[in-house]
Amino acid sequence: MAPEARGIAGATRYVASNGLVALIQRNPSAPTVSVRGEVRVGAVHETAAQNGLAVFTGAALIRGAGERTFQQIVAETEERGCSVNAAGGLHTSGFAGKALVEDLPLILAVLADMLARPAFPPHEVEKLRGQFLTSLRESEQETGTQAWRAARALLYPPEHPYSRLTSGAIETVQALTREDLVRFHQRYHPAATTVAIVGDVEPEAVIALLESSLGAWPPAGAPPTLDLPPAPPLEAILRRDVPMSGKIQSDIVWAVHGLRRTDPDYYPAMMANMILGRLGIGGRLGENVREEQGMAYYCYSNLDADVGAGPWSAVAGVNPANVERAIEALVHEVANFVEQGPLPQEVADARDYLTGSLVLSLETNDGIAAALLAIERFGLGIDFIERYPVIIGAITADQIVDVARRYLSTERYVLAVAGPPAG
């Protein structure tokens, strides 16, 4: 494990004159390079009326930038087996490139144009809108999407960006204009941008390339800030059922408010989540709903801890006849966990998995780049990977049960079910 751990801690952190932060890691295992970056602007910066704007803007960056049209961008990169992409998300807008090392200058130049000089050609915006509307219609008829849309609306007040899906809705995406995209893009700022470059590269050479590409992106105005509105605590059990015809299976979402990635409760909560609904085939939830009762192919929990406190959720896909029994099982497992806490063996398993699997997550260029981006986003420190086993090793069963009691509740939660109509 040592070479990779040292590898990350030895990454070069470079701040360009425009404020952009680059993290560069040499990984000579293959003649390839991955570029992964993020601008800290996302759907959290859009209004309810403009839901979908961050995603639309991110996807439009490639549709013409600098001197190149969309078809020129994809032709020039794809003919060399490279790819470039960008996508708006909830907290950040991401961009990525993949290339054989000799093509790194090309993908950095294209990505810099996409971020700094997107053209938003009107006909490309319309083309993209059509694709979005078709995929929105498809996702509107997915039980998982509908259950999550309902769960988020119950968890967060309408003024909170977490109350919506980043994909937007048909009406809002229909109403967005090219000018809306142009204005939203003006929030992108180099000083709010991190890029990780990992592969068979020399950091000094990469810095020189950055100076003429992403480092030359002129800053305009001030970097964006984020001020999330409060989410009032849940007071009761809130449930919404979404009947959907033509469906065979129902999706269930159970959720409470979680916590921020930087919250001191994060590590015990992450361990609690592993034990409750992830380890093996879905932790205790999977053991009950899938293994013992045979009700679901998937049943697991998820802790969405990011810049803000996202949902802490449990999901299952079950036959409509089993919906109430599956909910009962989910709530029963949560109650049991809150009451009794984890077994010593479960804590040991979670700890050994989290520390042991580190080397697996740092095998590929993409994996290393993702770790570097997370380190920068949450200010974890470049030696984070080295400290991680110590952090995880120090978490006790008492801390886990304490966190579980404060966040997981059997009296205040939301429940959303989407699937074939009852009866």
Partner 1 sequence: MSTPIHAHTLANGLLVLTREVHSAPVATSWIWYRVGSRNEPGGETGISHWVEHMLFKGTPSMPRGELDRLIARNGGVFNGFTWIDYTAYYETLPADRIELGLRIESDRMVNALFDPSEVESERTVIISELEGYANYPETWLDEAVKAMAFTVHPYHHPVIGYKSDLLAMTRDELYTYYHTFYTPNNAVLVLVGDFDTDTLLRQVEQYFGPLPRGPALPAVRAVEPEPQGERRVTIRRPGPAQYVQIAYLAPDCRSPDFAPLAVLDAVLSGARPLSFMGGGAQTNRSARIYKALVETELAAAAWSSYAPTRDPFLFELSATVREGRDAAAVEAALLTEIEKIQQGGVTPEELARVLKQVRAQIAYNNESVTDQALQIGMWEVLDSFGRVETLPEELAAVTPEDVRRVARTYLTERRRVVGHFIPTEEQEDGA
Q: Smallest distance from the beta carbon of 129 to partner 1, in angstroms?
A: 10
Q: Smallest distance from the beta carbon of 141 to partner 1, in angstroms?
A: 4
Residues 6+ apart with CB under 8 A from 186: 220, 221
Binding of partner 1 by 83 (CB under 8 A) = yes
Residues 6+ apart with CB under 8 A from 382: 8, 9, 11, 13, 375
Span 299-338, contacts to partner 1 by CB under 8 A? 317-319
How open is the CA angle 324-328-333, to the nearest 5 degrees?
150
Binding of partner 1 by 17 (CB under 8 A) = no
Span 40-79, contacts to partner 1 by CB under 8 A? 71, 74-75, 78-79
Q: Smallest distance from the beta carbon of 353 to partner 1, in angstroms?
A: 4
Tokens of 235: 């007071």
Contact between 97 and 83 under an 8 Å Cβ cutoff? The reply is: yes
Residue selected from 208, 357, 387, 406 as contacting partner 1 according to rule CB under 8 A: 357
HSE-CB of 19 using CA atoms within 13 angstroms? 15
Q: Smallest distance from the beta carbon of 131 to partner 1, in angstroms?
A: 5
Residue type, 230: P
Residue type, 100: L
Strands 83-88 and 413-419, bridge-based pairing: unpaired
Span 172-231, contacts to partner 1 by CB under 8 A? none
Residue selected from 15, 205, 360, 422 as contacting partner 1 according to rule CB under 8 A: 360
Q: Smallest distance from the beta carbon of 107 to partner 1, in angstroms?
A: 10
Contact between 112 and 216 under an 8 Å Cβ cutoff? The reply is: yes
CB neighbourhood size of 109 (10 A)? 18
Residue type, 53: L
Q: Smallest distance from the beta carbon of 256 to partner 1, in angstroms?
A: 25
Span 117-136, contacts to partner 1 by CB under 8 A? 127, 130-131, 133-135
Calpha distance 35→206 (Å, rounded)? 11
Site string for partner 1, 272-301 (x = CB under 8 A): -------xxx-----x--xxxxxxxxx---
Residue selected from 166, 313, 365, 409 as contacting partner 1 according to rule CB under 8 A: 365
In 261-380, which ranges are E strands? 296-305, 309-318
Residue selected from 171, 211, 363, 398 as contacting partner 1 according to rule CB under 8 A: 363
Q: How many residues does the chain have?
A: 423
Residue selected from 85, 302, 336, 410 as contacting partner 1 according to rule CB under 8 A: 85
Binding of partner 1 by 344 (CB under 8 A) = no
For partner 1, the closer CB: 16 or 96: 96
Calpha distance 409→233 (Å, rounded)? 11
Residue 193 φ then ψ, to 5°: -125, 135
Residue type, 418: A
Q: Smallest distance from the beta carbon of 224 to partner 1, in angstroms?
A: 28
- Kindly determine how many residues on this chain lie close enough to bind partner 1 according to the rule CB under 8 A: 72
Calpha distance 254→256 (Å, rounded)? 7
Q: Smallest distance from the beta carbon of 86 to partner 1, in angstroms?
A: 12
For partner 1, the closer CB: 233 or 294: 294
Q: Smallest distance from the beta carbon of 412 to partner 1, in angstroms?
A: 29
Q: Smallest distance from the beta carbon of 335 to partner 1, in angstroms?
A: 21
Contact between 85 and 202 under an 8 Å Cβ cutoff? The reply is: no
Residue selected from 13, 94, 105, 142 as contacting partner 1 according to rule CB under 8 A: 142
Residue selected from 98, 160, 187, 261 as contacting partner 1 according to rule CB under 8 A: 98
Which span (109-117, 157-165, 220-228, 361-369) binds partner 1, by CB under 8 A? Answer: 361-369
Binding of partner 1 by 149 (CB under 8 A) = no
In sign, the C-alpha dihedral spanning 308, 314, 315, 320 is: negative
Site string for partner 1, 19-38 (x = CB under 8 A): --------xxxxxx------
What is the gyration radius of the CA atoms in the chain, in angstroms?
23
